[in-house]
Amino acid sequence: MAKPTGFLEFKREAAGERPFTERIHDWEPIHLHLPEERLHQQAARCMDCGIPFCHKGNILNGMTSGCPINNLIPEWNDLVYRGLWREAYERLSRTNNFPEFTGLVCPAPCEAACTLGIHDPAVTIKQIEYAIIERAYEEGWVKPNTPSHRTGKTVAVIGSGPSGLAAADELNKAGHSVTVFERADRIGGLLMYGIPNMKLDKKLVQRRINLLAEAGIQFVTNTEVGRDVTAVQLQEQFDAIVLCTGATQPNNLPVPGRELKGIHFAMEFLHGNTKALLDGELEGEIGDWRLEIENGANNLPSPINKSPILATGKDVVVIGGGDTGTDCVATSLRHGCDSLVQFEIMAQPPEVRAADNPWPQWPRVYKMDYGQEEAAAVFGEDPREYGIMTKRFIGDEQGSVQALETVNIRWLPPENGSRPRLEEIPGTEQTWAAQLVLLALGFRGPEQTLAQQFGVSTGPRTNIEAEYGRYTTNVPGVFAAGDARRGQSLVVWAIQEGRGVGTAVDAYLMAG
């Protein structure tokens, strides 16, 4: 173990973030990082407990606990404590294709399952993970995973999010020739356009994509499979196809007034903002890190077809309390909104774990994420309103949203095995000013056009049916992984499934 008494000697110390009043005026990363000496101390807190719950990902009470990709956390904590950074990187890269992404955007279910967390604050696992990979880049240890030989087998990966990139990386390392198709103008999927730059710097995403390209992976952008190229054409050209399109169908809010202008899905808002930023269309340009590779692909970004959705000078309402809603809050603040409120239909969580939410389950407790902290710094309080439901939108004579009406609700316990029910509370009706409404209500599953073209079966929630661990669909040679298969989930689960489908496809190709 790192240091037998480390957890007794050192308190948890997170590096923190840039000051709120500074960072809301730009799009630069919010994260700060600890110096090496203090990272040694944080790694020393790892107890190398008999059963490292942090190491194995499980779904407990509907939430992830532990690391889905089985990171060798106690091992690389010990190595960091001893100053053996290269060895720590080698351990980390055995299980994680993209530690720089999980080290920044993963909610750290590993820390929720840390044994030290039973009585004391957990080890700063996520912070140490990011420090390891950044040290590896600085030292030049991160190299393209170029295979020593090619098998002659070809694979098409559709979708370039975390599952698609992980699958492509694994298959390329196995010697297969991999082509990744992406309908957007840049590679990265959710990593590029779904997560704002201040949370995940696009230079980091492009840095990894460049390495994948150097290793021999071909990227084709601005190409939507099913429209620009058909399923039949791909099946004729490639030996195997992997569907990693994500769960991109947003949940709607079909209440009166939904047709009004100024009501948008969250991803439309976030994607347009990041694209405008990367294309230099927003004040505070952060640069252009386009992928330039000579593979015949059209990988130059297309012009913005319409202006990005701006929150500047508007009363903004974000409906939905998850990570995407938080990103909408933070982006609206940087635009300079006049006011901001975020609706959450669930009740406010307790300050400490409830009796039915014991360790090592994910702690369902009240906390503010970066967006809510920023909003509180600007407007004086947490922007979230809990236990509230939108009843209708109100428009002006031009057909634009101007307000919305809500009612408070209470949740009733389930009866006879049913799900909990909500009940409106009479007399709690309220009207809120809103010239911009952002719907961050989660996602239903993958878009169906692609599944229909390939003829793959889908389940009740529209996810592509493919057995976990095998990832095979009902169509020979067509596989599915990530959110397209499992539904909306975490980046770390997407990487785990990308790695898994890579192994499954490799076995299929080499058996043929």
CATH of the domain at 46: 1.10.1060.10
For the chain, what is the radius of gyration of the CA atoms? 23
Asked, for residue 146, whether it belongs to a domain, the answer is no
Contact 17, 23 (CB under 8 A): yes
CATH number at residue 180: 3.50.50.60
Phi, psi of 77 (to 5 degrees): -65, -45
Same domain, 213 and 265: no
Residue 239: CB atoms within 10 Å: 18
Asked, for residue 214, whether it belongs to a domain, the answer is yes
Q: What is the pTM of this model?
A: 0.93
Residue 128: CB atoms within 10 Å: 24
Asked, for residue 147, whether it belongs to a domain, the answer is no
Asked, for residue 355, whether it belongs to a domain, the answer is yes
3-state secondary structure of 501: helix
Same domain, 179 and 120: no
Residues whose CB falls within 8 Å of the CB of residue 38, separated by 6 or more in sequence, listed in order: 13
Asked, for residue 495, whether it belongs to a domain, the answer is yes
Number of domains in the chain: 3
Contact 181, 156 (CB under 8 A): yes
Asked, for residue 212, whether it belongs to a domain, the answer is yes
Contact 409, 422 (CB under 8 A): yes
Residues whose CB falls within 8 Å of the CB of residue 84, separated by 6 or more in sequence, listed in order: none
How far apart are the C-alpha atoms of 138 and 24, rounded to whole Å?
A: 28
Phi, psi of 191 (to 5 degrees): -65, -35
Digit-by-digit pLDDT tens for the chain (512 residues) are: 678 899 999 999 999 999 998 999 999 999 999 999 999 999 999 987 888 999 999 999 999 999 999 999 999 999 999 999 999 999 999 999 999 999 999 999 999 999 999 999 999 999 999 999 999 999 999 999 999 999 999 999 999 999 999 999 999 999 999 999 999 999 999 999 999 999 999 999 999 999 999 999 999 999 999 999 999 999 999 999 999 999 999 999 999 999 999 999 999 999 999 999 999 887 543 333 222 323 333 333 333 334 689 999 999 999 999 999 999 999 999 999 999 999 999 999 999 999 999 999 999 999 999 999 999 999 999 999 999 999 999 999 999 999 999 999 999 988 877 788 899 999 999 999 999 999 999 999 999 999 999 999 999 889 999 999 999 999 999 999 999 999 999 999 999 999 999 999 999 999 97
Same domain, 204 and 309: no
Query: Distances from the Cα of 417 to the Cαs of 122, 259, 347, 414, in angstroms?
Result: 35, 37, 21, 6
Same domain, 205 and 257: no
3-state secondary structure of 467: coil
pLDDT at 292: 32
pLDDT at 283: 58
Same domain, 292 and 243: no
262's tokens:
């100024």
Half-sphere exposure of 91 (CA within 13 A, CB side): 20
Contact 171, 505 (CB under 8 A): yes
Residue ending a domain, choose from 419, 439, 459: 439
Same domain, 263 and 241: no
Asked, for residue 288, whether it belongs to a domain, the answer is yes
Angle between helices 323-335 and 266-278 (to 10 degrees): 50
The alpha carbon dihedral of 233, 239, 244, 250 has a sign of positive
Q: What is the DSSP string of 69-137?
A: T---HHHHHHHHHTT-HHHHHHHHHHH-S-HHHHHHH---HHHHT-GGGGTSPPP-HHHHHHHHHHHHH
> What is the DSSP-derived secondary structure letter of residue 443?
E
Asked, for residue 144, whether it belongs to a domain, the answer is no
What CA dihedral angle connects 100, 105, 111 and 112, to 10 degrees? -160
194's tokens:
């779904």
Half-sphere exposure of 109 (CA within 13 A, CB side): 25
How far apart are the C-alpha atoms of 99 and 134, rounded to whole Å?
A: 9
The burial class, CB within 10 Å (0-12 / 13-18 / 19+), for 364 is middle
Residues whose CB falls within 8 Å of the CB of residue 271, separated by 6 or more in sequence, listed in order: 184, 193, 194
283's tokens:
């004040």
Query: Distances from the Cα of 292 to the Cαs of 100, 187, 229, in angstroms?
Result: 22, 11, 22
3-state secondary structure 377-434: HHHCCCCEEECEEEEEEEECCCCEEEEEEEEEEEEECCCCCCCCEEEECCCCCEEEEC
Same domain, 258 and 280: yes
Same domain, 243 and 269: no
Residue ending a domain, choose from 139, 165, 185: 139
Beta bridge partners of 63: 60
Residue ending a domain, choose from 378, 411, 439: 439
pLDDT at 227: 93
Residue 242: which domain range?
Answer: 154-249+443-511
Same domain, 452 and 435: no
Contact 281, 400 (CB under 8 A): no
3-state secondary structure of 60: strand
How far apart are the C-alpha atoms of 314 and 510, rounded to whole Å?
A: 57
Same domain, 345 and 382: yes
How far apart are the C-alpha atoms of 194 and 263, rounded to whole Å?
A: 18
229's tokens:
């190229």
Same domain, 326 and 357: yes
Buried b (16+ CB within 10 A) or exposed e, 327-340: bbbbbbbbbebebb
Helix (H) or strand (E) holding 479: strand 478-480
Residue 458: CB atoms within 10 Å: 17
pLDDT at 48: 79
Same domain, 428 and 464: no
